[in-house]
Amino acid sequence: MATIRVPDEVPSPAQDSETLNKAFRGWGTDEKAIIRVLGKRNESQRKRIRESYKEIYGKDLIDDLSSELSGDFKKAVILWTKDPAERDARLANKVLNDKKKTIEKLKILVEISCTSSPSHLIAVRKAYCSLYDSSLEEDIASSVPFPLAKLLVTLATSFRYDKEKVDKEVATIEAGMLHEAISKKQLDHDHVLYIIGTRSIYQLRATFVAYKQSYGNTLDKDVDGCPGDADLRSLLQMVILCIEFPEKHFAKVVRDSIEGFGTDEDSLTRAIVMRAEIDLMKVRGEYFNMYNASMDNAIIGDVSGDYKDFLMTLLGSKI
């Protein structure tokens, strides 16, 4: 359910590289050409363009984009053009180096851990080690306060089975274990971490269904009513939403980024870039269901210029 529109006939990586290099030359930059090329190429095509550009011109495409572009448009294009694993590793590192690690910022670590494929999460961890000479889990453990670190390390080190196989009996048993932990006000209990951190997405969704059937409330509602650490409660609710309804989570990220005074361009960019090749069509649909409004129109009404054109290109619009 991706939204990007790759042309039926795509120029060779060398031709795309030439178009981009030409866009950088002369007086000013041809931003529209950059959008037409990079905004309409998938992950593997962008990788070949980066490689071709380096081979032909002896320069890094990301470096040239960084020197030629500016503002939120520059951030969005670079985030999109980077290798996705490197992109997410850098996003995670930025969060972990921030002095104020609010729940809103730690959300990024949850998104990477809970809405990525198992292979992508491993790639992120490998990229993190290569970039920073440290492991993602070590940096989480050393920079995030307990018990949040305990949950985030469990999520970051998970390797989930990615097939749709579900054991309903296990789901019922583990729903009971989650309910017992909540009843004892122990949201960081080892049983909670084991279940949330090891079970497949499909198994966990079955467990969430079994929980509601057995105890009347959703797991999210009971977690919300559990006394104790408010930050842990908020983080665990975010994990549940990302596992159960990732499209609803990202619809909320988009809504929160454009509602109120000012725009949170970094969050808006992250949501669009991270999901454009995965499920942004579903995110768009959930946005309408949740807010009775068009996500595309909301974005158009809140941002402008080349930044707006680039985001709308990733959303599949013709610019």
Nearest to 149 by CA among 249, 232, 241: 232
What are the angstrom distances between the C-alpha of 100 and each of 75, 94, 96, 145? 22, 11, 9, 11
pLDDT at 124 over 80: yes
Would you tell me how many other CB atoms lie within 10 Å of the CB of residue 67? 12
pLDDT beyond 80 at 142: yes
Question: Is it the case that residue 26 has pLDDT exceeding 80?
Answer: no
Confidence at 260, pLDDT banded by 50, 70, 90: confident
CA 197, 188, 274, 43 dihedral sign is negative
Please say if the pLDDT value at position 98 is more than 80. Answer: yes
Q: At residue 63, what are phi and psi to the nearest 5 degrees?
A: -65, -40
Average pLDDT over residues 172-192: 97
Average of per-residue pLDDT across 247-254: 98
Give the residue ranges of the annotated binding site for Ca(2+).
24, 26, 28, 68, 258, 262, 302
Residue 289: which residues within 8 A CB-CB, separation 6 or more? none
Q: What is the mean pLDDT of residues 133-142?
A: 97
The pLDDT of residue 179 is above 90:
yes
Q: What percent of the chain has pLDDT over 70?
A: 100
What pLDDT is recorded for position 249?
A: 98
What is the pLDDT averaged over residues 248-272?
95
pLDDT score, position 106: 97
How many CB atoms within 10 Å of residue 155?
Answer: 22
Binding residues: 24, 26, 28, 68, 258, 262, 302
Residue 150, C-beta contacts closer than 8 angstroms, at least 6 positions apart: 188, 193
CATH level 2 (architecture), domain 101-157: Orthogonal Bundle (1.10)
Averaged over 232-239, what is the pLDDT? Answer: 98
Q: What average pLDDT is seen over the chain?
A: 96
- 86 HSE (CA, 13 A, CB side): 11
Give pLDDT, residue 27. 81
Residues in the chain, overall count: 319
Q: Which long-range contacts (CB under 8 A, 24 or more apart) does 250-255 make?
A: 250/115, 250/274, 250/275, 250/279, 250/280, 250/283, 251/283, 251/284, 251/286, 251/287, 251/290, 251/291, 251/295, 252/290, 253/107, 254/283, 254/287, 254/295, 254/298, 254/299, 255/287, 255/290, 255/291, 255/298
What integer pLDDT is reported at residue 1 of this predicted model? 83
The amino acid at residue 211 is: Y
pLDDT tens for each residue of 42-93: 999 999 999 999 999 999 999 999 999 999 999 999 999 999 999 999 999 9
What's the average model confidence in pLDDT over 5-23? 97
Give CA–CA dist 66/60, Å, rounded. Answer: 10
- pLDDT at residue 158 above 90? yes
Burial class (CB in 10 A: 0-12, 13-18, 19+), 44: exposed
Specify the fold of 247-315.
Answer: Annexin V; domain 1 (1.10.220)
Match domain 168-244 to its CATH number in 1.20.1730.10, 1.10.220.10, 1.10.10.10, 3.50.50.60: 1.10.220.10
Report which residue type is found at 16: D
Q: Which percentage of the chain shows pLDDT scores above 90?
A: 96
Does 280 have pLDDT greater than 90?
yes
- Which two three-digit tokens encode residue 5? 């529109």
Q: Where are the domains of the chain?
A: 13-69, 101-157, 168-244, 247-315
pLDDT-derived band at 130, boundaries 50, 70, 90: very high
Q: pLDDT category, 291, cuts 50, 70, 90?
A: very high
Is the model's pLDDT at 281 over the cut of 80?
yes
Rounded to 10 degrees, the C-alpha dihedral 265/267/272/277 comes to 140
CA distance to 113, 240, 317, per residue, from 110 (Å):
5, 10, 29
Q: What is the pLDDT of residues 186-224, one digit of tens each?
A: 999 999 999 999 999 999 999 999 999 999 999 999 999
Q: How far apart are the first and last CA of the chain?
A: 21
pLDDT at 319 over 90: no
- Could you please state the CATH topology (level 3) that the domain comprising 13-69 is classified under: Annexin V; domain 1 (1.10.220)
